[in-house]
Every structure is written in C-alpha cells, then in structure tokens.
Structure 1
Amino acid sequence: MTSTTASRLPFRDINVHASPSYYAFSSPSSPSAPALVVERPSGDLRLDHDGKATRGGGLSGVRRVSSIAGILGVVRLRLDRYVIVITKAQPMGRLKGHMVYKVAATELLPLRERPLHDPDEDGYLALLRALLRQAPLYFSYSADLTNSFQRQAAADLSQPLWRRADDRFFWNRFVASDLIDFRDGSSGSGSGGGSMAFRHALGPQPDVDPYILPVMFGMMRIAPTAIKGTPLTFVLITRRSRHRAGTRYLSRGIDERGHVSNFNETEMVVILNDDAQGGLGGFAPGQFQNGKLGGGAGGADGRETQVLSYVQTRGSVPLYWAEVNTLHYTPALQIRGVETAATAARLHFAEQIRLYGDNYLVNLVNQKGRERRVKEAYEQLVRELVSTPAEHTEPDSAGITAEKFHTVEPRGARGARGRGGAGGDEPIAFDRLHYIYFDFHSETKGLRWHRALLLMDQLRDAVASGGYFRGVDMPGGRSSSGRAAAGGEETRLDVRARQRYVVRTNCMDCLDRTNVVQSMLARVVLTRMLHDAGCLRAGEAADDDAAFESLFRNVWADNADVVSRAYSGTGALKTDFTRTGKRTRAGALRDLTNSVTRYVLNNFGDGPRQDAFDLFLGAHVPDDEAAGAAAPPAGLFVDTRPVAIQAVPYVLLASVFFVLVGSLTRRPPDATVWPLRLLMLVFLVVGAICAHFMWTHGTLYVNWPKLNPPPWVQENYLEALSRVRSTPLLGPLVIKHERGRSEARMSYLEEGKKRIE
C-alpha cells in the first residue's frame, strides 16, 4: 500500500496504552505514525510524534496495553467523558476485495481514573451500552460503506475515508466530532455540546485521519453464489439514516429540517468476475453498448470486474403526524395541517431529487379506516409540491376496491419518466415527483399475494427508462486514471450506466408491506441486470434458478428483520411470504407473536431505546450544570409520577394474585368459605377498577422517553393528568403529591442559592 493510501485510510490495528494520566492510541503496523493521546481527566487531545507516550518517556504511571479494532469516538455524559472503542470485530466477507466487519463488542473507557458514580451517569451508561450491544454496526478499513457505488464513482479518492462518508449514514458522526474538530484545527462543539481544549499547533492535523473510522448502521449481506452456472457475488446493503432516528411510535413523519423517520437506503449489488471468488469469471469481457454486453478490450485473462447496483429508499410519510400510545392496541392518530409541513417536505424532496433523480413515491397505506387520513394528507402534499398535478384513479375490475391505484403526476409526465439523473445539471423541480398509491391490503387480501405484482405494471416505464448503475474496473485492476491498485488500495469504477431515479416506498411503519414490495421490484431489476450482462438468455428470469432464488428470498427476509428490529423491536411481519413465496400457518403464528411483542415493547420498552438513540446521535446532550447546587433532588431517570398513580399497577397485580390463589387453593370440606369468597369479590372489584383506570388513562402508564420527550407526549401526558385530578378517588392524592413536590423543589432551590452565596 502506498504512503498516500495509508495516510487516508483508517488503521487496521490500534494499541491502547492506558495510564492514570492519559490514553495513547498507536498503530503497531505504522510505527512512524504519531500516537493520538487523550489526556485524563481533561480530555485534551494531542499528537505524540516522538513516541514518548508509547515508549515510556514523558508521562509516568503503570501502563496497560490492549488491542482494539477502532475508535468510535468520544462522548461526554453528565460527570465524565468516555472514549468508545471497538474491542471485537466480526468479518462479514469481502466487498469487491475489501473486507467488511461488523462491530461485535465495544467498551467505554472513562477519562477519570476513579469514575464518579451517579444515578444519572449510570443511567446514561446503561443506555449507551444497550444500544451498542444491539445495534448492527458495520465498517471497513478500505471501503466506503456509507455511499452507494454510484456515489462512490464520483468521490474524490484523495480525501480520507471519513470525509467521503455520506453524512446521513455516518452513524458515529456525532461521537467522532471531537476527533474531527481536532483534525480540522477547530474548537467545535465537541461530542458533549461544549468545547474541548486541544493541545496542538493551530491548523489542520491530517495525521488524525487514520484514527477516524466511519461506521454504518443497517444490514449487510455478502454472498458468493452463482446463477445458471455464472459465478457472482450478491450483496444487499441497507443504510439507516442517523437523522430523526428512533423507535416506531416515538418517531414519525418529518422534522423542520426535512429529515423523515425510519429513512433507509437499500442497495442491491451484483459483482461479476469478483476477485473475492478467486478470479472466476462467467462471460467474455466487453463494453456496455445499447443495454447489452458487447465485445471490447479485456484484461490479460480476458475478464473484468463489473458492478451492477440498484438503489431503493423507504421513509415515513413526510408530514407532521404522530401516533400516541395509550395502552390501546391501536394508538391515537394525530395529523397537523398539510400546509405546515410543506416547507419541510420541500427540503426533504429537494435533497432526494438532488441525490437520486426522479422520485417515484409508492404509498401502501390503507385507503379505509384510520390510515385513510394519512393517505389523503400525503396526496394533498404532493398536489401542493407539483406545479400542474394530473390525477388518475383506477378501480379494481373484480370489485375489491374502488381505488386500486391512484397516481398524482405532473401533467404530461408519463412520457418523460426517468429523464434527468442524480447529480445532473438540471435544476431541482418538484415536477420530478411521481406519486403512486396501491391498495396493498385490499388487493392481497385472502392470501392472494400474486396480486402485489400489479404494482410492477405501474413502475414498468420507470424501471425501463431509469436504469441502474453499472461500473467496470479497468483490466489489471487499474482505475479510470490508469493507475494500478496496490494491496487493498481503492480503485475507481469506470461508469457505463447510471441509475436516474429512485422508488421511495412507504406504508405506516415502512417495514412489512414496504419490504415485500421492495423485494419484488428488486427481483424485476435483477432479472434485467442479468439479461444485460449475458448471464440469462431471452425468456429466462432470475427466479428460474432455485438455489439462487432461495438465497435471494432469505437475504431480503433478513433485511426486513434487521430494519424492523431497529424500529419496532421485533422481526418483520410477512417474512414467510418473502422467504417462501407463500403464506404459511407458521408464518401467521409468528406474525401474531411479533405483533403482541411489538405491543409490549412499543408501550413499555421503546422509551429507553429512544433515549439511547438520542444520546448516541446527539439529539440530547447531557447538561453538566445538572450536577450543580441548584439541581432538583430527583434524578433524570427517576419516576416522577404521583405515588398514587404509580401504585395502581401494583394493586392490580396484587388483586389478580389473591384471586388466583383463592381460586386454586384447596380447602377442607368443612371450612367456612363465605369470608374468603367475600374477600375475593372485593379484590376482584378492586382489580377491575384498577384495570379500568389504567385503560382509561393509559398515557400515564406508557414508558415515555425521558431525555427528549416529544411535545405531543407532554401535551397528552398533562391532559391525562388533569383528568385524573378531577376523579374523586385519586384526584386529592395527586394534587397533594404535586403540591409537596413543588414545595420540596422550591426549598431545595433556596438551599442551593444560599450555598452558592
């Protein structure tokens, strides 16, 4: 590997030298590179060029040396800063010759030699550790996983890997901000929202580049396989955006900056003549002419590596809307006016058009019931954005639904589909939005899943004209500049075709229905790819090869599960259809289990998960002033609800327990039973009252996030609390509790004020 390459790619091996006064990070394979030193406990950063920190000079103390796979960043919590390091990485396979790893284990290194224990600090640490333990994080030392192959083809390879990363999918961007600010020679906000002092000469510090490792959150599957005897590597990558990341019912819609919830970019890649397969090839080399593989110059062995890539996106409906948990299975739906979201939606789609070209907005929500409001609001939004909307409604001929398809497009757009392209010189125009509604549930009702293919007819023109990305490595491993690759160095693909559009699919959650449709569209495009590459003959399809079809289905089902777990907490529904092509009883039973589990997690488990996302991604920055004298006595993670409200579930459980014990306990024949029955009746009535109270005021019993509770959560919580105050039984107790808390808080503040004076 050349020295230029080594300076811009992350270190593959890092040793940590720990002492009471510092942490020093160095690469044993690059002894001439300076060590990165983090002073303890201040967190000051500096570069050690003379090796004093790693060879025993200058800084005293007993040193402990351990090996890590990389540095995620530095995070500041309430009382201390922590260096987050990757202690174990699992190899996942080679992507065009570059090894890809999954984060298997992490560790938080405290900067204080003797960490201070505090309930809030321990709560923060528990949130971070739970997220890092469960999050599917992937990285590569030599390949950019955050960008699609089409965007990589336009990247500046002279830039370090972290600078080329797509900001949307650079998941550790916030915690790496201290390292990035230090590298750029700036005193930016840092990972804690406050400035970190840097001991270094003013100006950029390019020697820090190898210590900054961009990490992607999502799904990665690399599968060497073959189709019809042609060896290839099949890859599926899903990248989850770090903007507006969260959990199912706590993160919906769009924010003021144009970021939508649960936004994922999924890229399907086929690599032909991949070096990872030992140089095996399946067809003659050549140029890509008129959509077919033609003759042309090849390498010495007559083969060239080709990359065929197709990108789809999914994301929440770009409106201001929410679903408020109330312990009912179906949450309360709230939608603000479409006009209020138009500005944010313009920001969102302007970015989407700039990145991907024409956007085909496939909406799969129901046209009846509670979801109908979301459908109608989405259509109204598209009418606002498109200059001259033309609508077309197609009913179902079988009488299943009066609105099988509903399209909203710019007038005259049908003949111009797919024109333009991502990254082109054309100005951004919202007339490049094409809205397609498909009544998925009604059309596939009764296990008629084949009817979902009707949607492909609506997208046929877009698929035909919008194309997919195709890049070819120059013979001998050379890039387009003619420079040979050296030992893991990146090479640029020669671009032969570009994808000029994207299909953006959504349902209510952008999970189950969305993944079914995305996998069907991917199969259609894959067949076209393989025809163009000469792997399939006329009339053949990708699903004709049973072994490859099984792999394809299972990879897409795995993708559904990963995206769903990150958002809803369980695997996806309907994956039995994705895996086998048909609905099964076992799949329906598994869906029922997942649905019940989702209900429990979404009501009682998603609050801490949302807090963990907000903490790691910087949506919440711990305030160290909370440790001052004016801090309230209750901790951040302490339950502040009135004691009477907290006691209701325990009374309910005690009542149920007593009724069960009284019903199942064996009694002597001559025992008097009426006192026991009377007591059981009393507990039964008490339990029923408690259950009714919880069901009526369910908002008070949902485990809401504590770091960044959404405004609508606070509004609904306060509304439920005000209703409880008016109840004759618990109202006086709640009012007394709140009065006591208020007086205690005021007295505590007065004491703090006196101490400060």
Structure 2
Amino acid sequence: MAALPFRDINVHASASHYAFTSPSTPSAPTLVVDRPTGDLRLNDGGLLGGKRVSSIAGILGMIRLRLDKYIIVITKAQPMGRLKGHMIYKVIATEFLPLRERPLHDQDEDAFLAMLKAFVKSGPMYFSYSFDITNTFQRQAQLDVSQPLWKRADDRFFWNRFIQSDLIDFRNTGTRQHHGEQPGVDPYILPVMFGMLEIATTKINATPLTLVLITRRSRHRAGTRHFSRGIDEEGHVANYNETEQIVLLNDSTSGLGGFAGGGGMQNGKVGGASGKEVQIMSYVQTRGSVPVYWAEINSLKYVPKLQIRGVESAVSAAKAHFDEQIRLYGDNYLVNLVNQKGREKRVKDAYEQLVKLLVSTPYQRTQADSISDEKIRIVEPSGRHQAMDRLHYIYFDFHNETKGLKWHRAQLLLDQLSSALDEQQYFRGIDMPANLEGRLEVRNQQTSVVRTNCMDCLDRTNVIQSMLARTALNRQLTDIGVLTRGENFTSDPEFEVLFRKLWADNADVVSKSYSGTGALKTDFTRTGKRTLAGALQDGRNSLVRYGMNNFMDGTRQDAFDLFLGTYIPGTNHPFTDSRPLLIQSIPYIFAFSIFFVLVGVFTRRLPDSAVLPVRIFILFWLVVGGWCANFIFSNGMLYVNWPKLNPRPWAMEGFQESITKVHKDKLIGSFVSGHDRTLSTARYTNAEEGKKRIE
C-alpha cells in the first residue's frame, strides 16, 4: 500500500529549524527544514526545543525569492464533497514561513511576496489526501496504485510541482549525509490541482446519482489572456484545460457527510446504495490556444494588434503538442470557432495551414448555406499513414451561424460530429468491492477527444463544450437505463438547472483565471437563452477585461511565472521602471489637470470676483489634460502594464519603437533622455524575432 499524504501536520519552529510531524502517525519520521539554509533531513525522533506553531492541512511547497526562502503551508482547507468516498478539499488560506529568523526587508522581496500571496489567495486550488484528482478515471485505471500519490499525479496538472521540487529532489536523491531515496518524505508531498471542481448529489427520474465536473488547468504556458497565446517551442499551448464530467451511480459515499476520511475510507470502500454496484462514467474534453506562434499586443486600444509568425516555424512544436494529445486521448477532433472574417481570419487560416502540413495527403471539404459561405470546413487525412493522421480538423462559423441569438444553430456542429461522437464512446467502470486497492473494472473506454478553441478558448468554447457534455450525459443515462430511448434529461427541470449551473460555474472559473473576469454568454449556459441582463453583464465584463488586460495583467502574469518557476529570482531589480521620468509623470499630470478643472468649475466665487482668470485657468488645464490624454493613447505601449519578470519580445520591440517616436516629438522630445535600459535587449529581440513575424 502506497503511503498517502498526512491529513494532519503539526509545525514546530525554533531559531534553527522548522519541524513537521504527523500526530496521528507518531511512528513516521519528522521532516526537518534547517534555518536559514533550507537543507532538508528526516529525523526518527522528536526534536527538542521547538515550539509548536500551528496545525496545518499540508505543505504547498517551498520557494526561494531574492533574499530568503519560504515554506508555503496550507492553514485552512474547505471540504468540497466526496468522490468515490474520498474527500476533496479546496485551499482557502496559506501562510509563508520565512527561513531567516529576522526577515530582511527589501522592496523587490516585498513585491515578490505580495504578488505570490495574492496569486495563491485568488487561485482556485484543490487537493485530496487519498484520491488523484489530477488524472481522469480512465487514466487512473491504468496507473500503479502502489506508487505514492505525487508520483501518480499528471505532470501537466500537478500545479505546485515546481515549489515541491525541493521535497521531491530530497525524496529521490537524499543529501550528502543521507544519500539515496528517502521514501519517508512521500507523505509530506501533497499534489495540488488548479481549476474548477464541483460535486453535486442529485437525482433524475427518482434515480439518485452524483454529478461531478472537474476542469484541470495545465501548469505549462500558463498565464493571462494577452501575455500567453499560442504555443511554445516545447509544444505547450496557452490556456490548456482538460474538463472531465463524471456521473456516479449507486454511490452512497458522496456528499459532505459520513466519516472524516480516516483509514477506513482511504480507498472509498463503503458499499453502494442497496448493495448495488457503484458505476462511474466520465466524459473528457480539452481546450487550448491555436497551436502556432501568435500574439496579441496591447497598446491601450480596445482591439489589440495581432501578430502571427510563419506557420512553418511552428510545425515541430505543434507536432510535439499533438504527439502528446494523441498518446493521451487517441484521435483528436480539432473544433475551431474563430471568425472567418476580419482580424481573426488570419488565426483561422494559420490553424488550417498547420493541419495540412501535419497530416499526410490532406483533403478538405466545405459546407455553405444562406447565412455563411463557409458554415463548416473539414480538413482530414486521406488515410492513416502516420500518427498525425489521427487529427481531424472541423471549422464552424460560430459567429455567423448564431448571430441574432440563434444559439440553437450551434447544433449544426454537433450534427457534423455525430458519427465521431458515437465512435468516441465514454469511460465506464464498475467499483470492485473485493479489490483492496480500489481499482475499477473497466467496461468501456473513451477512444478520442474533442479539442475546442476560439480566440481565447473561453466564451464560444464554453458554449460548445457544454453542448457536447449534454450529448454525452444523455447518452450515458440512456445506456444505463435511467432515461428511455429518445428521452433527455431536460424533462427533469431540477436536474437541468443543476447541469446548467455546473457548466456556467466552470465557464466563469476558467475565464477568470485567464481573462480576469467571468465568462461571456453564461446567461445562455445558465438559462438556455440570451437575456438583456446577460447582455449587460457581458458588456460590463468586456470593459473590465479591457482594464485588466491593459493595466493589471502584467503583474498577474509575473505571479504565474514566479509560482510556476518560469522565472527564478536573482540579484537584479526586475521592478525598476526604465521609462524616462517625464513619460512616467504624464498620467499624474493628466490626473492633476482633471482635479484642477473640477476645482475651477465647482469652487464658489465671490460676487465681485473676476470671471476671466478662472476661465483661463480652466481652459489651460483642459488643454493640458487633453494633450496628456492624447499622448497616452497615442503612445499606449508605454503605459501598458507589461510583465517585468519575463518580458515579452514583442513588448520590448514595441516599447523601443514608442520611445524612438517620443524622441522625435516636437514638444517634449528634447526633454526625454535618450538613454534607455531596454535598448540592447530590444535590438536583440528585433534581430531574433522581428523578422519571423508577419504583420
């Protein structure tokens, strides 16, 4: 039996170390973190002289910043419900334990800490002490359950993998004094998933069941909307999420009641309702950014500028991406929902060109109707001669077909996919009460996956994914006899409301972590129709997205990069503002001008006071404010909140172009310093990246 993570850990602190013990497992070794070095060791007995600090739910990880190293511990976790008898928790509160007894205060260190604390607080993270929530049920059925929980975790969704690397390295290799594997560390390593998880006990047609929705966000190429697009050289795409919809039948262990999750519950072996076998059915979908090199460049304009590099340069990266997707899921049905006209057309064309380069002897066919010249376009291989021939590209003109609130026309895409969905199947397993390891008897497997995308992989993608999930669920409930042939679960209003709520919640969580707001069009997902309130909410979300994407997302992206290890703090000062002082001051001058105009307009004047000076005063500040506003929006790239830890190449390139433009300004050009710290980097960027892009 594999060692599972400890459910209860006490932290003891002294001037020389932190010690972690499990009071429910007194025979387990104590994990010791020496201060201030951060060296790890296991101690078979208790350590004297340590004062008990607190009880924690687990160790999230360890991270070294500029001046100190910190242990991040989970201080509060909220039970979310049981999945096959295993309690799932959400991280609610954390604490950062510094290794230095007297922390050194530094402006950059404080900025790093504040950024991380805000990120961890806002990020929806989930874990279980006894169940692997990073893997689908189908993958779990193929894993070696004798392995520790962290070794079974899917590396893509092991969100705290980087900050657990100290513990993992120590577990695998030990130290110079204690060389070799240290399996005693296994119960201290707790894998955490980032995304969405909801468990709902319900019934349909008087049949009790549990409906679960899990969305796992990949830790690779993670980030914010306009600073994380497309694919990287290793084949990781932006905003990649795997969504698993699960139905459990005859499972009496779901919900928040019952045991606290002790040893008797570790494998969920608490029989099904009325002695019936527990059935688990799951359906998996994925989403991810269009896998070519492309970017959207903020400049304070509502619609960012689009850049796409030559498609041929992305072939090797895309091949690596789809090699993994095919290995994990089988055939991939690539549903593309971007617009076929306007600025999005270039992204559509790039995706289609990429698929044609990947598959052997591609052929394509197009369907048209009175609404669209290209309602559906399909690109498929003519045979199966290589691995990439398991890719099937389906373009659907979502924008035109659903224009005018005709959301029912999205069913045209599902009709096109019907034969593929029939062959795709879904996972079905039966709980084996006699199996002490908690394994399932596999009755059916899902053989392919639908990979959906739009520009952001958010709003349009959510609508289609919820429709696919609905189709799969109706099929599952029909196959097990809960629904009759031809019936669907819309006949049960309460279940319909629950289903819509789960998928609308999922849309909001995925969207918020990427764009900063809830999803658009969720009124349709929640109610089945577009409403005026929903349209107004979409307008509000769009405006908030604009503000966040331009003025806040740089800091959010830095937090992703810091937590996930794509940036390692050094001795440099990454938060230094390299813009000339005059350029930095213009927004403040603009704010002062508005203030002075308001003062001039609303200040009460004496009856005999002259009016002309006040009018001149107001006019002067109106002119100053107007010039400042025009300067800011004409040179928007100088005022976007860019990532500072891992500067984007296109940002540095555009930044330098804006600085050069300002130097030529007739009014303030001579007052702006010609020296700029980003110059050498921008020149290098221009040489390496600029020539590869197609404007």
- Shorter-chain TM-score bucket reads over 0.9
1:700 aligned onto 2:647: no
Counterpart CA distance in 2 for 1:209 and 1:11 is 9
Name whichever of 676-685 and 347-356 sits farther off. 676-685
Query: How far apart are residue 237 of structure 1 and its match?
Result: 0.1
Partner of 1:214: 191
Query: How far apart are residue 410 of structure 1 and its match?
Result: 1.2
Aligned to 2:112, which of 121, 124, 137?
A: 124
Aligned to 2:434, which of 463, 475, 478?
A: 478
Cα 1:299–1:554 change in 2 (3 A) is closer
Partner of 2:474: 527
Counterpart CA distance in 1 for 2:394 and 2:235 is 21
1:709 aligned onto 2:647: yes
1:445 alignment partner AA: K
2:374 alignment partner AA: E
Cα 1:665–1:279 change in 2 (3 A) is closer
Whether the 8 Å contact between 1:642 and 1:734 is mirrored in structure 2 is yes
Provide, for residues 76-107 of structure 1, a one-character-per-residue CA deviation record: whole Å limited to 9, x for no partner.
Answer: 11111111100000000000100000000001
Cα 1:39–1:460 change in 2 (3 A) is same
Counterpart CA distance in 1 for 2:87 and 2:591 is 53
Counterpart CA distance in 2 for 1:715 and 1:111 is 40
Partner of 2:336: 363
Partner of 1:93: 81
Whether the 8 Å contact between 2:600 and 2:617 is mirrored in structure 1 is no
Whether the 8 Å contact between 2:201 and 2:255 is mirrored in structure 1 is no
Aligned to 1:176, which of 157, 164, 180?
A: 164
Partner of 1:249: 226
Whether the 8 Å contact between 2:223 and 2:557 is mirrored in structure 1 is yes
1:504 aligned onto 2:417: no
Aligned to 2:40, which of 29, 40, 45?
A: 45
Counterpart CA distance in 1 for 2:393 and 2:533 is 35
Specify every segment of 5 or more residues in structure 2 that has no aligned partner in the other structure, as ranges: 258-270, 681-695
Aligned to 1:150, which of 138, 154, 167?
A: 138
Provide, for residues 26-80 of structure 1, a one-character-per-residue CA deviation record: whole Å limited to 9, x for no partner.
Answer: 10000000000000011110000122x1xx2xxx4x5133100000111011111
Whether the 8 Å contact between 2:194 and 2:216 is mirrored in structure 1 is yes
Partner of 1:191: none
Cα 1:735–1:65 change in 2 (3 A) is closer
Query: How far apart are residue 734 of structure 1 and its match?
Result: 1.8
Counterpart CA distance in 1 for 2:325 and 2:255 is 38
Partner of 2:247: 270
Aligned to 1:28, which of 23, 31, 34?
A: 23
Specify every segment of 5 or more residues in structure 1 that has no aligned partner in the other structure, as ranges: 187-197, 281-297, 414-426, 485-489, 627-634, 743-757
Query: How far apart are residue 658 of structure 1 and its match?
Result: 2.0
Partner of 2:422: 464
Aligned to 1:450, which of 408, 411, 414?
A: 408
Counterpart CA distance in 2 for 1:428 and 1:637 is 48
1:404 aligned onto 2:375: yes
Partner of 1:439: 397
Provide, for residues 86-144 of structure 1, a one-character-per-residue CA deviation record: whole Å limited to 9, x for no partner.
Answer: 00000000001000000000011000100111111111101110111000000000000
Query: How far apart are residue 670 of structure 1 and its match?
Result: 4.4
Whether the 8 Å contact between 1:45 and 1:199 is mirrored in structure 2 is no
Query: How far apart are residue 257 of structure 1 and its match?
Result: 0.0
1:720 aligned onto 2:658: yes
1:604 alignment partner AA: F
Partner of 2:5: 10
Partner of 2:689: none
Cα 1:736–1:342 change in 2 (3 A) is closer
Provide, for residues 150-186 of structure 1, a one-character-per-residue CA deviation record: whole Å limited to 9, x for no partner.
Answer: 0000000000000000000000000000000000015
Query: How far apart are residue 374 of structure 1 and its match?
Result: 0.3
Counterpart CA distance in 1 for 2:530 and 2:607 is 54
Counterpart CA distance in 2 for 1:666 and 1:326 is 40
Structure 2 matches for 1:307-318, cutoff 5 A? Answer: 307-318=280-291
Paired positions, count: 666
1:201 aligned onto 2:139: no
SS of the residue 2:373 aligns to: coil
1:430 aligned onto 2:368: no
1:735 aligned onto 2:693: no
SS of the residue 2:505 aligns to: helix
Counterpart CA distance in 1 for 2:256 and 2:465 is 31
Partner of 2:598: 660
Whether the 8 Å contact between 2:81 and 2:256 is mirrored in structure 1 is no
Cα 1:43–1:300 change in 2 (3 A) is closer
SS of the residue 1:114 aligns to: coil
SS of the residue 2:155 aligns to: coil
Partner of 1:228: 205
Query: How far apart are residue 714 of structure 1 and its match?
Result: 0.9
Counterpart CA distance in 2 for 1:737 and 1:299 is 72
Partner of 1:556: 503
Query: How far apart are residue 299 of structure 1 and its match?
Result: 8.7
Provide, for residues 403-449 of structure 1, a one-character-per-residue CA deviation record: whole Å limited to 9, x for no partner.
Answer: 11111111268xxxxxxxxxxxxx96111101111111111111111
Cα 1:94–1:200 change in 2 (3 A) is farther
Whether the 8 Å contact between 2:250 and 2:273 is mirrored in structure 1 is no
Counterpart CA distance in 1 for 2:113 and 2:580 is 27
Partner of 2:683: none
1:81 aligned onto 2:72: no
Partner of 2:125: 137
Partner of 2:151: 163
- The normalised TM-score by structure 1 is 0.86
Partner of 1:593: 540
Name whichever of 640-649 and 577-586 sits farther off. 640-649
1:336 aligned onto 2:336: no
Whether the 8 Å contact between 1:651 and 1:690 is mirrored in structure 2 is yes
Counterpart CA distance in 1 for 2:503 and 2:177 is 48
Query: How far apart are residue 302 of structure 1 and its match?
Result: 4.6
SS of the residue 1:207 aligns to: helix
1:389 aligned onto 2:353: no
1:385 alignment partner AA: L
Query: How far apart are residue 279 of structure 1 and its match?
Result: 14
Whether the 8 Å contact between 1:71 and 1:85 is mirrored in structure 2 is yes
Query: How far apart are residue 277 of structure 1 and its match?
Result: 4.8
SS of the residue 1:573 aligns to: coil
Counterpart CA distance in 2 for 1:29 and 1:372 is 60
Report percent identity of matched pairs: 66
Query: How far apart are residue 738 of structure 1 and its match?
Result: 4.7
Counterpart CA distance in 2 for 1:393 and 1:181 is 53
Whether the 8 Å contact between 1:11 and 1:210 is mirrored in structure 2 is yes
Query: How far apart are residue 669 of structure 1 and its match?
Result: 5.0
Whether the 8 Å contact between 1:353 and 1:428 is mirrored in structure 2 is no
Whether the 8 Å contact between 2:225 and 2:456 is mirrored in structure 1 is yes
Aligned to 2:55, which of 60, 64, 67?
A: 67
SS of the residue 2:326 aligns to: helix
1:569 alignment partner AA: G
Whether the 8 Å contact between 1:11 and 1:70 is mirrored in structure 2 is yes
Counterpart CA distance in 1 for 2:544 and 2:256 is 46
Query: How far apart are residue 668 of structure 1 and its match?
Result: 4.5
Counterpart CA distance in 1 for 2:614 and 2:255 is 78
Provide, for residues 542-595 of structure 1, a one-character-per-residue CA deviation record: whole Å limited to 9, x for no partner.
Answer: 222110000000010000000001000100010000000000111111111111
Counterpart CA distance in 2 for 1:471 and 1:89 is 30
Counterpart CA distance in 2 for 1:344 and 1:369 is 27
Cα 1:462–1:83 change in 2 (3 A) is same
